[in-house]
Amino acid sequence: MALNLCKSKLLNALLFTTMTSLSLATIAKVIPAEQLNLQELTPTEDQRLATVNMVQLLRRHYEKIPLNDQSSVKIFDRYLETLDPDRRYFLLQDISEFEKYRHKLDNDLKTGNLRHAFEMFNRYQARVKQHLLFNLKLLKRGVSRFNFAINETLETDRKNAHWTATHADQQSLWRKILKDRILRLRLAGKEDEEIVKLLTKRFNNQLNRLHQNNNEDAYQIFVNAFTQIYDPHTQYFSPRRAENFDINMSLKLEGIGAVLQSEDEYTKVVRLVNKGPADKAGQLKPADKIVGVGQGTDGEIVDVIGWRLDEVVELIRGKKDTIVRLEVIPSGSDTTGPGKVYSIKRDTVKLEEQSAQKKLFTIKEKGKSFKVGIIQIPTFYIDFKSAQAGEPEYKSTTRDVKRLLKELEKEKVDGLVIDLRNNGGGSLQEANELTGLFIKQGPTVVVKDSLGRVDTQEDPDGSIYYDGPMVVLVNRLSASASEIFAGAMQDYRRALVAGSQTFGKGTVQSIQPLNHGQLKYTLAKFYRVSGQSTQHQGIMPDIHFPAVYNTEEIGESSLPDALPWDTIKPVRHTPYQANIPEIMLLQKKHNQRIQLSPDFIYIQDQLNYQRELEKQTKISLNQKQRQEELQQRQEQRLAMENTFRKAKGKDTYKSYTDFEEAAEKESLKEQEDLPVEDDAYLFEAGNVLVDYVQLKQRIAANDSVF
């Protein structure tokens, strides 16, 4: 008996130190789907009719995509990718069974037959439950039964991985994923008992949510796999508006001011509302993944991996002036270590903070002073209700900028910077009218619809409100109306565009009601007066600054099936100069400055650090190696920070812990607008403007020296 007991203990130990398929199969036998006690979801008649209606409406889509076998293949692949993007749930045998539907989904959609799509979703739910039960069974045996001393690795980028062929292979993958999660929590300083409790709670919560899924959840996922083969902005919304793609928490609700979407098991940040609470706090960034939410400065952080998007949003929202803490895996962060915790004070986005604002600063160049005016435009806004009511003092971007231009004119500025960074767009009317402030007359933007009809927007008046030198500052989050304005300034050669490539959102959407829910679809495209589309490519600046955001993760070109960049016939317009003189010289002077700038050196170091981390797709499951890698990364990060602080004349941090604590305290402060001198990009835009002013002066004086 004692011998058998010893053998049993030895076997149990070996189960976690070896990687044989047999041992894994012994730990958790495969649970047949029919025994999982999951309700089989079936479509409704309303959903069937809505599907037929959608197919008919999408004939009006800008991109004329025929619904045939070729598009059926795309829908099939997109549906699988949406359900199981990391190929961890479905087995090869599941995919083989589904293959008979690969060329049938087009006909299913035309007739409203949703049976095959629901069959695939039900199988997916069964596999997810098997995964969760497997994890819970392993956790019952305790964290100490995992061997973190052996050399194992986990491939984190499984987008193109093969489907696992057997249950044993699948469970081997599941075990490694669980082991990585345990290791992350260990590296975050959590004890084994706490880890078991936390992960058990997480997986039980996910099981409960799995049982709460209904036919609307299944329907929404499938039809959006269909609609988004047209383009990323064509989307079905359920009657309850519980869409799993993006929820805007920005203007009317008290919260943090962020647009979120579901991605795999995570809640991903799409963008931050300019001047909103999260934007002011300065820590949360687009493409970050939220994995936990805590209330107050010391409330328990609730694990939200696998939660529905609307449930995560409810946790993040709250009363003004209260604190919410977000546990985040930063975009491009070190995959070997734990996440970060950011504290954000909830607030509403105030209209006055969304309004255009001005700044003024002086740059000294070779003994001469230049006054630089700045107008920051967070969004293209207009109070439609007040305007329609005939109120004389209604607020709008153009009206506010007119007033600011008059104020700057009194200051006798030598040039103007229009700051459109992070401006996600807004009113097309305002983009058109704002363009008109800087040109005397002419077309501003062209809109082409799905029938090929072209509508050209014109400058609404024949006057010009500012005719001096200008720089338009943009970045990857400058989108839509921002791109229309920046593109017009570039095409008229009215201003230098500086910064990085913009977002590339050059399409127009319309929302149409269905018998069941709504359909948002793309019906037109924007074009610049030069005939170039703003879609996909965005605006390429004249003077390139280092790009902060990874274009593979953020921007229209990062989205699957985004409509392409193209051109139409240019519309007649008269540029203000034959060309922007000496662009290469201006770029050279910019490059020389940033090579000596502590701010830009620090920015470039951060970018290099992040890009190096993004290349790492295979991580070690050996605790000692992970700890060493984490320590190395922290030392590298601390050295970067201290080098920057030293160059700026600030005290350095003695340890990485000191740095982390300082960053946490800083996030709790109300972040005021940075002085221009502390905003590296804005200050450099001013330098580029001064170079441009001097160049124009020398050309006018026939002086070749610069």
- Which residues carry out catalysis? 480, 491, 505
Q: Under the phi-then-psi rule, with left for phi > 0, alpha for psi from -120 to 50, and beta for the rest, what region is 87?
A: left
For the chain, the farthest-separated pair of C-alpha atoms sits apart, in whole angstroms, at: 103
Asked whether the beta carbons of 607 and 691 are under 8 A apart, the reply is no
Q: Under the phi-then-psi rule, with left for phi > 0, alpha for psi from -120 to 50, and beta for the rest, what region is 469?
A: beta
Residues 6+ apart with CB under 8 A from 78: 225, 226, 228, 229, 560
List the structure tokens of 299: 């409330």
Task: Check residue 78 and report its DSSP letter.
Answer: H
Using the structure block, give the residue that is written with the tokens 């949003």: 313
Task: Check residue 570 and report its DSSP letter.
Answer: P
Whole-number Å distance between alpha carbons of 30 and 137: 12
Task: Check residue 35 and report its DSSP letter.
Answer: G
Asked whether the beta carbons of 264 and 242 are under 8 A apart, the reply is no
Question: Which parts of 61-191 fold into alpha helices (H)?
Answer: 69-83, 92-98, 105-111, 115-140, 167-187
In one-letter notation, the amino acid at residue 269 is: V
Task: Check residue 123 and report its DSSP letter.
Answer: H
3-state secondary structure of 682: helix
Radius of gyration for the alpha carbons in the chain, expressed in angstroms and rounded = 28
List the structure tokens of 160: 């193109």
Task: Find the helix or strand (DSSP H, E) in which 507 lies.
Answer: strand 507-513
HEC readout, 433-462: HHHHCCCCCCEEEEEEECCCCEEEEECCCC
Whole-number Å distance between alpha carbons of 446 and 448: 7
Question: 379-397 as b/e, with b when 16 or more CB fall inside 10 Å?
Answer: bbbbeeeeeeeeeeeebbb
Residues 6+ apart with CB under 8 A from 7: none
Asked whether the beta carbons of 121 and 197 are under 8 A apart, the reply is no
Task: Check residue 560 and report its DSSP letter.
Answer: T
Asked whether the beta carbons of 515 and 49 are under 8 A apart, the reply is yes
CA atoms within 13 A on the CB side of 647: 13
